[in-house]
Every structure is written in C-alpha cells, then in structure tokens.
Structure 1
C-alpha cells in the first residue's frame, strides 16, 4: 500500500488546505496524473501523484488544512488487493435518482453527526458570488464535503426554480472580497518572510556581479523576430534562462540542494522563474529541463507559466522542483538585483535593466546596451572562484545566441 502525502510546495509552505479531490476510491491513476487541488498562501496548486496504482482510500476531506507530509490518500499497487474503504456513517440506502431529478437534490452520504460540514475554499467563494445558501446544498465530496461542482449545480437549480431575479441579498460571508484579498496577501507576506528569514539565517550568502554586453544577442533576436507574429516573438528573458541553464549544467555546484549538512546536485536543470503577482507577493515555479529546450518551446513555456501563476493555477511539480532560480527586475527599472537564495537551493541569478552605457571594448570606448548579471550563492556548496567562472560562462553564452 502506498501513502500519498501532502507535498512540500516550497520552503515557505508548512501546510495546505485540500480544495478538491479529482479522483475517488477505485480510480486507477497513472504517474504524473493530477489528483487534487491544494490551496496554499500563494495559489491553488494542482497536485500531481508520482505513483501508479488504484485509489484505496481518501484520508482527508475537502476543506481540511493539514501539515506537509500528512497522508492524503492510500493507493493499492499493481496486484495488491485494496483494503475495504471505510465510508462515513450514512443514512439507509436510497434508490438511484431519476435522470430528471435536479442534481442539487440528489441523495449522497450524510456528513458524520457531530462534525462540521466541510466546504472547499473555492466552493465557498463561488457560493458567495452566486448567492447560494450553503446550508441548502448537498455535498457529494468525501464525508459529505461541498465541492465547487455542488455549488454550481445548486446555483443552476436555483435559477430554474426562481425565474424572476431575486432582490439582492447581503452575503452571509463575514468578510468582503477586498478583506479576503488583504488577508491572503498578509499570509503570503508571512510565508515569504519565513522562507527568506530562514535563508538569511542558515545560508552563508556571497554575491558576485558582471556586466554583460547585449548588442550581439539583441541584434540576433531582432533578426529572428522580424517575420514572426507578435505573439510568437522571442524575448531577451528566454536567452537569459537558457544561458543560465547551460551554465548550471556545466557548473553543477550551483544546480542542486543543501540537505542534511551536505550538497546534493540535481539530476535535471529546472529553472525557477521569479514572478510577481498582481495582488502582491511572488512565486518562483519551475520550467523543467530548460537546458534541453529550444528557444521557441521555452518562450511558450514561460508565457504559459506567468499566465497561470498570476491566475493562481500552478502544478505541484512546478512549485517543488526548481533547482536554481532566476529573477529579472529589468522591467521595474533597476540596474541590479542581489537576491536571497530560496532554500534548499544554493544559487540565484539576477538580471537588471538593459540600458545603454559607456563601455571599453578592445581598447576603445563606445556606447553599448548592457545588463548587470548577479549571482547569489551558498558558500557551503561553492566558492567565489567557481562563482566567477559560472557568471563568465553565462556572459559567454549570451555573446553566442545562435548556440542557445
């Protein structure tokens, strides 16, 4: 029997709220399948299961907040007979409903007596926006929990039962949307503070910087983009991501994790991309295997990742897999950024604002477009000499964009 547990979706996550189950007991699941949605302080994250088997039992009801590492479900492996699923106490069996019976009225297992009714956060927010009374909704989730689908069905049934627009009714929710957003923002800031505080306490940072001339790279990008639709044009950011990934593949002491008083190099190069959220705060989900991707594919992945991060729809592997992080604050108008390493990673590369500056090239003075690249690294895993070579490799690769 396999235990599927609440994953750690970053160093700043201690617990998560189960938003929705996407599987049920008896379902066969494959490796990498999305099986649940978990609400964190930063986003609603789609949780992937990296085991194969048959769902034997769902251990945590929708709406419950549990610590990282808590078993969420059990899976029976191939050839294993699952233990009988222990269902919550229910009323006497009821005949299957007629197809025309409104979905919101269909019978289901009753919530255990003496227990509060579980409602997923998404379902609660949707019910408030649609004016649905949760007390009149029958939950179909584990232990009678009310899911988003239950609320939507109840709203549809209510619409058919009341064709005339009802008078506006004050929401039963104690907090407004603005207050909830403010509360969520405060929780996110607390999570970031905890992770960054831990980073500065535990990691002996050292910082290096280099000025990279971008004229060759920008000229090459212009040639590549001239016949492309606007939506398919390559941005300088993808060149930076690819250069960092290739350099990290060569200098492996910057691509991995510090665990149990020792450095563990990562098997792949999964670059975390620092993304600012519209409501404040940031996330740094991963683009997987950046060193192996072509620039067009990388540009598509980056666009998709930013859109989903700001919509609050990320996957668990994107949150837990970064092996090195890149932050780019050039669009904010700063020349340089010296970041804080995101534990248990050991390095972070930053890029500032590309700008025209006076430089000396081959003994002559000229104006060139340059960007300041910085490295924050863990002195337990590397030293300044190797860090300087790592930054120099990033610089070299950006001078040869056709090789990226």
Structure 2
C-alpha cells in the first residue's frame, strides 16, 4: 500500500485545506498525475502523486483542514487487491435553489443589480424575503461576509510570509552586493529580436534578466540550492522562483523550472502563464516546492534598488530595480544609457562577498552579449 500524504508546498506551509479530489476510488493513476487541489495560505495548488497505482481509499473530504504530513489517501500497488474501498463522507449538499424567472432563486431587481455590481451570484444566496426571495439586505450581508473572508485570507498570507521572513533573518547570515548594469546592447537586441514577433509573443526585459541570472548560476552552483541540516545541498536544476504580488495582498514565488535550459521566447511564455495562474490561484506543487533561487523585480514599482530577504531553505535572492536612463561614461565619453541595478542577497554560510561580486559581474557580462544567452 502506498500512502498519499499532504506534502509541504513551501517552507512557510504548516497546513492546507482540501478543495477537491481529482480522482476517485478505483482510478488507475500514473506518477505525476494530479490527485487533489489543496488551498494553502497563498494559492490553490494541484498536488500530484509520485507513484503509479490504483486509488484505494480517500481519507479526507473537501473542506477538511489538515497539517502537513496528514494521510489523505491510500494507493494500491501493482498486484494488490482492490477489495472494498470507500470514499470519505461528503459534505451535505446545498439545498436546491427555488426556481425563479432567472432559473434560480427569486431575486428582487434591486438585489440583483447590486449583486451584479459586487460580483456576487445572487441565485446562489439563501433569501430571507417572502417565499425565500433574495432581498437587497441579503446581498449586503453576502458582501460583508466576502469582505471579512478576504481580510482573513490576507491576514493569513501576511502571517505566513512574516513567519518565513522572521526565520530567514534569524537563521541566515545575509550579505549583500549590488552592481549597476548598462542595458543599451540588451535593449537594442531585444528590439531586433521582437521585430518579427506578434505583440503577444514579444519578449520583455524581465525575461531576459531572469535568463541571464539562470545562465550565470551554472557557473556559481554555490548560489543555487538549499541549506538543510547544517549543510549545503547544491541543486541539480536551476529553477528560478519569481516573486509575484498577489491580488489579495502578499506575494508568492513559484518557479520557472529548468530556466537555464529553455529558449528565451519559451521562458517569456512560461513567465506570463506563471503570473496569470499565480494570481488566479492555480499553481502546481513543483512550482511552489522546487525553486532553487528567487528573483524579485520591483522595477515596475519605480524603485531603483531592492535588497531582499532570502527565502529558506534557499541560499540566495537576486533583485532588480527599474530600468531607466542615466549618465554613463563609455571610453572616456559621457553618454546616456538605459541601466538597471542588480543586487544579490546571499547566505554567508555557503558563499562570501567575493563569490557574490563575481556572480553579478557575470550577469553583467552576459547582458552585454544577449545573443549568447540562448541555449
């Protein structure tokens, strides 16, 4: 028998809530197949199985909140008998809506108009009016509840982020280095590279910066990995965690997997998709549990520099500020070039400032020859 337990989907995750099962007892599943969708403090995560097997017993129900490590289901290994399986009891079903002229409950015109403005489905509300009709006050109460739930979720996100960052500052001896990088060559190259691409497929400077970091990390493995059990573990892949602000407040840093080995155009597409799914609350387990280093870009917020806090158990974080025109001396001549300030926050238990400085110098050099960044 194989045990399917709630995995840790990040260093700051202690528990999760089961939203739905993607399988049922008797289903044949393969390694990597989605088993369930779990809600964490940051997003809804698709959790896959790492074994082939047959779903035996589902031990949790949608809505159950459980700590990391909880046994959620069992799988039968090849050769095992299916026998008698059962599914955990389901939650009571919502009573069917009384039919109305919109196919749902009876809703007053004022209530329906207000519900539409607030993004609430009035047909799903339980009415307190005559015959169960949904009134304006019912919608107002639903709005208040939704606001309270959003506030509670934002508070949960802030607590989770705060706990992880407090641990990082307490346990990790940070050091910081920064480098101002001219981008005239890189931006001119991007303009030419995008000339023949449709607008929806054009590569943004953010993707080029991420790719330069990923390629440079191949030569600086001591910045790519984890510090666990008083020892550094170098990662075999370069999975760039991208810091993304969430609509409900806070941020998450899901990974662009194998960022160093992908063409720039593909990396751009995956970055756009990752941002979209992160903000809609639809991420995969590997994207949250397997980042090996984090990149944060606050240039769109107007800041010139950012010095971030390392996300444990990672050992480095790279930050980029805004790209803007600044005076520059080139071969003794004063000119104006677009430039960006790159920073590195790194773990002194694993590397030192000399290593960090050489890494940023390598990122700078790569951006002077962007055509060489492609695999």
- Alignment-derived partner of residue 71 in structure 1: 71
The alpha carbon displacement at 1:389 in A equals 1.1
The alpha carbon displacement at 1:81 in A equals 3.0
The alpha carbon displacement at 1:41 in A equals 1.2
Residues 1:18 and 2:38 are matched in the alignment: no
Change (3 A) 1:159 1:321: farther
Structure 1 residue runs of 5 or longer lacking an equivalent are: 88-140
> What secondary structure does 1:143 align onto?
coil
> What secondary structure does 2:89 align onto?
helix
The alpha carbon displacement at 1:144 in A equals 2.1
Structure 2 residue runs of 5 or longer lacking an equivalent are: 108-132
- Alignment-derived partner of residue 143 in structure 1: 89
CA RMSD of aligned residues (A): 2.1
* TM-score, normalisation: structure 2: 0.87
The alpha carbon displacement at 1:20 in A equals 0.5
* TM-score, normalisation: structure 1: 0.81
* Separation in structure 2 between the aligned mates of residue 237 and residue 163 of structure 1, nearest angstrom: 47
The alpha carbon displacement at 1:53 in A equals 1.0
Q: 1:275 aligns with which of 238, 241, 244?
A: 244
Q: Is the 8 A contact 1:62 1:142 kept in 2?
A: no
Residues 1:46 and 2:55 are matched in the alignment: no
The alpha carbon displacement at 1:161 in A equals 11
The alpha carbon displacement at 1:49 in A equals 1.6
Change (3 A) 1:294 1:162: closer
- Alignment-derived partner of residue 247 in structure 1: 216
- Alignment-derived partner of residue 196 in structure 1: 165
- Alignment-derived partner of residue 100 in structure 1: none
Residues 1:186 and 2:171 are matched in the alignment: no
- Alignment-derived partner of residue 32 in structure 2: 32
For 1:310-330, what per-residue CA distance to the aligned partner results, in whole angstroms no more than 9, with x for missing partners? Answer: 111111111111000000000
> What secondary structure does 1:54 align onto?
strand
For 1:285-338, what per-residue CA distance to the aligned partner results, in whole angstroms no more than 9, with x for missing partners? Answer: 001100110011111101101011111111111111100000000000000000
Q: Is the 8 A contact 2:295 2:318 kept in 1?
A: yes
> What secondary structure does 2:232 align onto?
strand
* Separation in structure 2 between the aligned mates of residue 377 and residue 243 of structure 1, nearest angstrom: 18
- Alignment-derived partner of residue 270 in structure 2: 301
* Separation in structure 2 between the aligned mates of residue 371 and residue 308 of structure 1, nearest angstrom: 28
> What secondary structure does 2:322 align onto?
coil
How many residue pairs get matched?
A: 345
Q: 2:255 aligns with which of 286, 291, 306?
A: 286
Q: 1:220 aligns with which of 182, 189, 192?
A: 189
Change (3 A) 1:62 1:158: farther
Residues 1:393 and 2:362 are matched in the alignment: yes
* Separation in structure 1 between the aligned mates of residue 228 and residue 198 of structure 2, nearest angstrom: 45
The alpha carbon displacement at 1:154 in A equals 4.5
- Alignment-derived partner of residue 315 in structure 2: 346
Q: Is the 8 A contact 2:62 2:90 kept in 1?
A: no
- Alignment-derived partner of residue 137 in structure 1: none
Residues 1:168 and 2:134 are matched in the alignment: yes
